[in-house]
Amino acid sequence: MLILRGASLAVALLIELALLAALAIVAARLEAPVAVRVLVAIALPAAVLVVWGAFFAPRAARRLDPGPRLVLECVLFGLGAVALAVSGLPAVAVVFAVIVAASLGGRIALRQF
């Protein structure tokens, strides 16, 4: 069981990093000057990191309870999937969404919230 719990947390970390990458990808594919794309590629992931640090981090001052935390995670990961889809990567968006759903379901089953 310990290995399964560790694997679940490892997948959670990977999908969190994939979320940040998805936001950078949508910024890189904007039809805008390079300076704007770079700024957005930094700002979008930074905004998610601020939210993550404020509400999800183990030492967050306002760490959310499991129910609201799950809802906010679904919103953030959903935005990542939408970002991939509007970036012209719909198949990647679907794969990302399926992996996120499996990961969240596994974490619920393992009581890792």
With beta carbons less than 8 A apart as the criterion, state whether 8 and 110 touch. Answer: yes
pTM equals: 0.91
With beta carbons less than 8 A apart as the criterion, state whether 60 and 53 touch. Answer: yes
Residue 71 and residue 100: Cα distance in Å, rounded? 13
pLDDT at 31: 92
pLDDT 10s digits, 57-104: 989 989 999 999 999 999 999 999 999 999 999 999 999 999 999 999
With beta carbons less than 8 A apart as the criterion, state whether 58 and 69 touch. Answer: no
With beta carbons less than 8 A apart as the criterion, state whether 26 and 82 touch. Answer: no
